[in-house]
């Protein structure tokens, strides 16, 4: 298709693509505690990740974010979920969630925050980004299928739906 035939219409749903990566080492998971000056999720634990930049595909963006935020390389990432997050009437986020395993246990500090290895069976004792209590067990599940989900807000509360 010719470029001039591609149209982006302002009254159509548009998304910002992002990656979210969880790295496992035996019975621990690597999470990033958001820096105190972060606009969102300050002081909360989240996976590794960020925006997909122009010219990147989803997987190369995930590897870039993983390296930038942890220094980890040569880790096979497996796509575990694709989630659309409704933020505004015509705008949202598409989040591509990956899982990898590492034999290295690095700890890195960056302007994004500090990384910590947390025992998976104790994760509920940490201040997590709101969706992680449900998302992490699903991503770590031995079931290999990719999950498809949608998040939206109802009266200001996050609602999470996944296809069965």
pLDDT of residue 38: 67
pLDDT in tens, 88-127: 888 999 999 999 999 988 877 777 788 899 999 999 999 9
Averaged pLDDT, 41-70: 93
Q: What is the 3-state secondary structure (H, E, C) of 92-133?
A: EEEEEEEEEECCCCCCCEECCEEEEEEEHHHHHHCCECCCHH
Averaged pLDDT, 10-26: 94
pLDDT in tens, 60-72: 999 999 999 888 9
For the whole prediction, is pTM greater than 0.85? yes
Domains of the chain, with CATH numbers? 3-162 (3.90.79.10)
* Residue with token string 């997987």: 59
Average pLDDT of the residues of the chain: 91
Of 60, 37, 54, give the one whose Cα is nearest residue 114. Answer: 37
């Amino acid at each position: 298709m010719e470029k001039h035939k591609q149209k982006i219409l302002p009254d159509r749903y548009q998304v910002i693509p992002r990656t979210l990566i969880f790295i496992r080492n035996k019975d621990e998971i690597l999470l990033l505690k958001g820096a105190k000056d972060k606009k969102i999720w300050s002081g909360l634990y989240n996976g590794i990740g960020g925006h997909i930049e122009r010219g990147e595909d989803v997987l190369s963006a995930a590897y870039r974010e993983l390296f930038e935020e942890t220094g980890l390389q040569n880790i096979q990432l497996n796509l575990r979920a694709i989630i659309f997050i409704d933020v505004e009437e015509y705008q949202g986020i598409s989040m591509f969630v990956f899982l990898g395993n590492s034999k290295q246990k690095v700890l890195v500090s960056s302007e994004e925050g500090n990384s910590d290895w947390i025992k998976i069976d104790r994760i509920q004792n940490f201040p997590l980004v709101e969706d992680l209590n449900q998302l992490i067990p699903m991503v770590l599940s031995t079931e290999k299928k990719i999950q498809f989900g949608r998040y939206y807000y109802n009266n200001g509360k996050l609602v999470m739906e996944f296809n069965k």
